[in-house]
Every structure is written in structure tokens, then in C-alpha cells.
Amino acid sequence: MATTKIDLQNEFPQERNNIYLNHAAVSPWPQRTQKALQDFIAENVALGASRYPNWLRTESTLRAQLAEMINAPSPKDIALLKNTSEGLSVIAYGLDWQAGDNIVITNHEFPSNRIVWESLKSKGVDVRVANLDVDRSKQSPENSIIDSTDDRTRLVSISSVQYASGIALDLQAIGTHCKTHNIFFCVDAIQSIGALQFDCKAIYADAVIADGHKWMLGPEGLALFYCSPKLRDQLTLNQYGWHMIENQGDYDKQEWEVAKSSRRFECGSPNMLGIYALSASLSLLLEFGMVNVENQLRQNMQLLIDGLKTINNLDFLSPIQTDYRAGIVTVTIPGCDSLSLYNRLKKNNVICAHRGGGIRFSPHFYTPKEKILSAVDTLHELVTS
Ligand SMILES: Cc1ncc(COP(=O)(O)O)c(C=O)c1O
């Protein structure tokens, strides 16, 4: 049951002077994650792997938590991979491409969701780049993607929230088009899972991929890879090992078959340290409730955007209408060099990022309102001084 009776200050005891508005890069961990890892480390030192069955239980808890985070049909549809790029590569090098096939991405994608598809050009696959910077009175960004598809489009791969512009697209509209035209729909959801509610069934996604170190508040190097059974069965595997077979624990048996579940994508030993950490971090989000997380994040974003609007001349590179907004807002100040402004913000303990030619702010749901206001004041002082 979702509850908001969690002491967030206690969970995030960050340095008092630090204003951390960089969750779209790498997030600080909650206190409970530190505790889970300390306990796990102490157990390893004292007992080695004598309690391995408990470790396996934590692994299956994590699969169930991740399935809940995206409303997946079953934890069996979830694989634990290293990162988003690995998940995208499993799809890119698993599908049986024919020369003349095409893939649609957008002009706002992080390199992970561009390079892997461009690498298929040697197989005769065309990468089409839909323009999201359209005149919205004439065409929606979603329709720009949809209009880029044709009868040779095998896959549409987009980020649910773009890393620099922060634009959050209507995934259901794109997924519906893909479903009716028999196109695979792949979503790089690293910038939304843990920030906003996510429903892979409602958007008809065939694949959803997200590393855990951003909005999910976990460590780097452990990613969610959801793959629908339909797509799973069409992917040729490129890595093999003991962990991915149906009878995983039967080491003496010579015959084997690939696991029916998404475990088939995990060839060897799991990243147990990462599993303990991510599971603890997700327990916080799930206990708090993703509805509440999203509401609080939206309130924080409103406060931040309202504050930024008071700064003369400031330009928003991000859409600021609520329907295209998630947890990212990127700005520039004409006449001010963004990189040097970013460095001065950092010197003043405002931790943000320099992306897309501007300064990217990304608070999370727990970020105290005073810190958001203080970051806006600091920016104000820096641009007027
Ligand atoms: C949209 C998007 N995809 C992927 C990544 C990172 O990919 P990986 O998990 O492979 O490191 C980032 C990191 O900033 C991102 O913003």
C-alpha cells in the first residue's frame, strides 16, 4: 500500500549546502540503500555466500519491483542487464534485418539510442530521424514520428523523456500507431522510470529499457530490460552461458535449452551488489507510491519553472507546458555563456548539468522546496552580477 509516511529528510541526508538538481545524470542514493549495502558487505565478509538462497530471493524481489514500476505482465518479462546501451544492442543485434528496412528515432536522442541503430547501416538498414522541433500549431512531435514511418519501418525507438530538452512525448499515441502497423516499439525510459508513473501495456511497448542510476535512485551498471514475449521470440541471442538456460541449476546435464523467460538475456552471474542496492532504492519509491512521487515531482518542477520565469531574458530550451514536461528543464540566458554559468553554479553548490547548449536542472520528488528556491536565487545573482 502506498504511503507518504516516510521521513524524506532522513532518507536523503545530503550535505546541507549542496543543492542537488542533477537526477537526470546520476542520483544520490537514499539512506536505506547505504544500509542494505553495508549489511550485504558485512555478510559477505563474515559468511561468504552461505546465504545464497537469500540473495536469489532479493534478485526475484527486484524483478517483481521492476515489473511493478512499469506494470509489466510478469516479472518473467524482465531481464537484468548492465545498462541501457546493452539492452538496445540486444534488440539491434537480435532482429533479423533485411536491406531496405528502416528504424525511426528522433533528433533529440541521447547517443545510446542513436549510435546502435546507425551501426546497422552496414546491413542496409536506414535510420530515419524525426524532427521534434516542429511548429506545434501545425504538427505535433508525436505526428512527426508517426509520419516518418512507412511500410518498411520495423522499429521505432525513442526516449520517453529526452535527456537535454526534457520533452516527454505521448507514448500511447506512438505505441498505438506502431501496434496497428506491426512495428516494434522500443522505449528508452531511463529519464522517466522512477520519476513518473509508467505503464508498458498502456503504451503498447515491445521493449522498455532503463539503467537504475537516475530517477530510480540506484547504482550505475544495473538496468531493467523489459521485452514482450512477441519480441523476445524474434530475437537471436548473441551471448550464451550457464545462467540463461531453462534448467539453470542442473550443472551436470549436457542437454540444454534457452530459458523461456527474459532470463535468456542474462548469460552469467548476476550483479548481486547492484541488485541489493537497486532493490533497496526501489522499495522507497514503491512505498512512497509512484502516484505521490510523480505529484511531488510535478510540484517541484512547477516551483522551479515559476522561479526561472522571474529571471529576465531567460530562455527555456525545454517545453514548459505541463503535458510535455517531466523532471527536466533546460535554460539559456542570452549573452551568458552556458558552460561558464554552469561552472559558476557548481562553485556555488548548485549541482546541475551542461546539456544541449544550456543548463539542465533536474530535481527529484524529495528535493526540498527551499533548495529549489535557493538555486533560482543563486542563478539570479550570477546573471545579474
Ligand atoms: C536518454 C538516455 N539514455 C541512455 C542513457 C545512458 O545509457 P547507459 O545506461 O547505457 O549508460 C542516458 C544517460 O544520460 C540517457 O539520458
H helix runs in 254-323, sequence order: 272-288, 290-309
> Is there a single domain that holds both residue 296 and residue 214?
no
Residue 37, domain member (yes or no): no
pLDDT digits (tens, 9 = 90+) for 120-167: 999 999 999 999 999 988 999 999 999 999 999 999 999 999 999 999
Last residue of a domain, one of 286, 319, 350: 286
> Is there a single domain that holds both residue 95 and residue 160?
yes
Indicate if the pLDDT at residue 88 is higher than 90.
yes
> Is there a single domain that holds both residue 107 and residue 141?
yes
DSSP 8-state secondary structure symbol assigned to residue 249: T
Residue 35, domain member (yes or no): no
> Is there a single domain that holds both residue 157 and residue 244?
yes
Residue 340, domain CATH:
3.90.1150.10
Q: What is the pLDDT of residue 4?
A: 60
The candidate with the shortest Cα–Cα distance to 156, out of 113, 115, 191, 108, is 113
Whole-Å CA distances, 152 to 105, 127, 215: 14, 11, 35
Beta bridge partners, 153, equal 102
Q: What is the pLDDT of residue 223?
A: 98
Neighbours of 41 (CB within 10 A): 12
- Ligand 1 site residues, Cβ closer than 6 angstroms: 83-85, 110, 112-113, 159, 163, 188, 190-191, 211, 223
Tell me if residue 116 falls in helix, strand or coil: helix
Last residue of a domain, one of 238, 260, 286: 286
Residue 1, domain member (yes or no): no
Q: What is the pLDDT of residue 305?
A: 98
Residue 293, domain member (yes or no): yes
Q: What is the pLDDT of residue 16?
A: 86
Closest ligand 1 atom to Cα of 161:
1
Domain that holds residue 14: 8-29+289-384
Residue 274, domain member (yes or no): yes
Report d(CA 170, CA 176) in Å as an integer: 10
Indicate if the pLDDT at residue 237 is higher than 60.
yes
> Is there a single domain that holds both residue 282 and residue 293?
no
Last residue of a domain, one of 286, 320, 343: 286
Indicate if the pLDDT at residue 303 is higher than 70.
yes
Closest ligand 1 atom to Cα of 113:
3
Question: What is the 380 CA–ligand 1 centroid distance (Å)?
Answer: 30
Q: What is the number of structural domains in the chain?
A: 2
> Is there a single domain that holds both residue 79 and residue 120?
yes
Q: What is the pLDDT of residue 273?
A: 98
> Is there a single domain that holds both residue 156 and residue 48?
yes
Nine cell digits for residue 24: 537526470
> Is there a single domain that holds both residue 293 and residue 220?
no
Residue 109, domain member (yes or no): yes
Q: What is the pLDDT of residue 209?
A: 98
Residue 239, domain CATH:
3.40.640.10
Report d(CA 289, CA 3) in Å as an integer: 6
User: Angle CA(16)–CA(277)–CA(25) in degrees, nearest 5?
Assistant: 55
Cα-based torsion angle of the residue sequence 151, 152, 157, 158 in order, rounded to the nearest 10 degrees: -50
> Is there a single domain that holds both residue 57 and residue 14?
no
User: Which residue of 27, 211, 214, 352 sits with most ligand 1 atoms within 8 Å of its CB, as the best mutation to test the pocket?
Assistant: 211
Residue 316, domain member (yes or no): yes
Residue 364, domain member (yes or no): yes
The candidate with the shortest Cα–Cα distance to 70, out of 231, 176, 204, is 204
Closest ligand 1 atom to Cα of 210:
9
Q: What is the pLDDT of residue 14?
A: 81
Beta bridge partners, 351, equal 20
Q: What is the pTM of this model?
A: 0.96
Mean pLDDT along residues 117-121: 97
> Is there a single domain that holds both residue 278 and residue 312?
no
> Is there a single domain that holds both residue 126 and residue 265?
yes
User: Angle CA(181)–CA(182)–CA(188) in degrees, nearest 5?
Assistant: 100
pLDDT digits (tens, 9 = 90+) for 89-112: 999 999 999 999 999 999 999 999
> Is there a single domain that holds both residue 106 and residue 241?
yes
Q: State the maximum Cα–Cα separation within the chain, in Å, rounded to a whole number.
A: 73
